[in-house]
Amino acid sequence: MIRLSINGLEASFEKGTTLLEAARFLGFPIPTLCHMEGLSPYGACRLCVVEIGEGQGAKLVTSCTYPVEEGLHVRTASTRVMRARRMIIELLLASCPQSKVIQDLASEHGVRRQRFRQEHETCILCGLCVRMCEEQMAAGAIGFRGRGERRSIGTPFDITSEICRQCGGCIYVCPACQLRCTYNAPEKAICGGCANLQPPCLEKERFDDMMCYMEPCAACEIKKD
């Protein structure tokens, strides 16, 4: 057993547990996009960053890939962590604004501006679908191709894969294409529709007047009418 403290709370965990599992076990929420139970940790979305170490040696690490260490002091919601997380969400918004999952994260974390050039990607390259296909469906029909800004996910040679059984697992886990934010995107696409909703959200204590956790998003539905 390995003893460590998370947000000042001392606890011991088995060797090989990740910081994310440990923090969630203790009830500290850590947002994630590319993590899913049953799939190997990947560390692509960086949303799960936590701060470890003391003073000058303090650093941010992805909790989903970092194993518990003896005597580690972990902060899951320090100022530095929250700032990094908000920046990551802002960057995700800049590339993939139509994802409801990302818009919800933005609402929850109080991200109210998006300072980057707006793009409309359909993929955030989190690799969930690739791992789903390979590890749970034992198929390996899709994978990463290319690198840098040309990196993409798809089948080899862009032809219909012989291995694919069309199980739909890849679409099921996708945070970018599964739930569409139907809010009509302005220049800098932050939905925030739920922020001005009446009556206000019942869970407004926790989500600071945001109501994006309804499905379908109530604000989107009202806009449509």
Residues found near another protein in the complex (CB under 8 A): 16-18, 38-41, 67, 130, 134-135, 140-147, 155-157, 161, 163
**Residue closer to another protein (CB basis): 102 or 132:** 132
CB of 189 to another protein, least distance (A): 30
- Say which DSSP state 135 is in: I
Q: How far is the CB of 56 from another protein (least distance, A)?
A: 30
Token pair for residue 3?
């003893």
Nearer Cβ to another protein, position 123 or 141?
A: 141
- Bond preceding residue 216 cis, omega within 30 of 0: yes
Query: DSSP 3-state assignment of 119?
Result: coil
Nearest-approach distance from CB 156 to another protein, in angstroms: 4
C-alpha triplet 202, 216, 24: angle, nearest 5°: 65
Nearer to another protein, 116 or 144 (CB): 144
Distance (Å, whole) CA 89 – CA 124? 12
| Strand (E) or helix (H) holding 95 | helix 79-95
- In the complex, the smallest distance separating the C-beta of residue 219 from another protein, rounded to whole angstroms, is 38
How many separate helices (H) and strands (E) can be counted in the chain? 7, 7
Residue 131's φ and ψ, nearest 5 degrees, are: -70, -35
37 or 54: whose CB is closer to another protein? 37
Nearer to another protein, 117 or 147 (CB): 147
Evaluate whether 16 touches 40 at the Cβ level (below 8 Å): no
Minimal distance, residue 157 CB to another protein, in Å: 6
Burial (CB < 10 A; 0-12, 13-18, 19+), residue 145, is: middle
Partnered with residue 61 across adjacent β-strands are: 50
Residue with smaller CB distance to another protein, 39 or 214 = 39
Kindly state the smallest distance separating residue 113's Cβ from another protein, in Å.
Answer: 32
DSSP 14: -
